[in-house]
Amino acid sequence: PMSRPPVFLAIAYEPLRRLYLDLLSMRSLQALCVATDDEAVLESRQRQPGVLVVDMEPGLDAARARCVRLKSAAGDDCRLIVLLHVPSKDLEQVCLESGASDVLPLTDDSEFVAGRIAYWAGKSEAEESSAQAAKA
């Protein structure tokens, strides 16, 4: 099988970044830590991520701008997954409208979150576009 593109972890809080790095490598996914959005943007130019995971603080305008920036840097083929520090329906909606594929509260079980990341990392473009076509 073709090697899957890496998962980028753009999670500001270091212990959390380390936790997901471990959980993903246990699922034999190649994960790469990026400390900041700028680093995520630069790394995305070097190597196309399959999934970009970011943690998001409250603030609708900031969240919208951040999702749009990261999604455009990471490319159409990349899934953007947003982890919310403070779950809110409005914030979730803004992220989904701004390019996120999935929005999960950080209060969720970390194994569950890692499972969702693995799920998105395993979805190929072909599956995704045929699913989109079926919806249209």
User: What residues contact residue 1 under an 8 Å CB cut-off, 6+ apart?
Assistant: none
pLDDT by residue (tens digit) across 41-97? Answer: 999 999 889 999 999 999 999 999 999 999 999 998 999 999 999 999 999 999 999
Give pLDDT, residue 131.
Answer: 54
Please compute, for residue 112, the number of CA atoms within 13 A of its CA located in the half-sphere on the CB side. 9
**pTM, full prediction:** 0.86
Per-residue confidence band for 126, with pLDDT thresholds at 50, 70 and 90: very low
C-alpha distances in Å from residue 128, one per residue of 48, 74, 106, 118, 133: 17, 17, 26, 15, 9
The residue among 35 and 121 whose pLDDT is bigger is 121
Q: What is the pLDDT of residue 4?
A: 81
- Report the pLDDT value the prediction gives residue 13, as an integer from 0 to 100: 86
pLDDT tens by residue, 97-118: 999 999 999 888 999 999 999 9
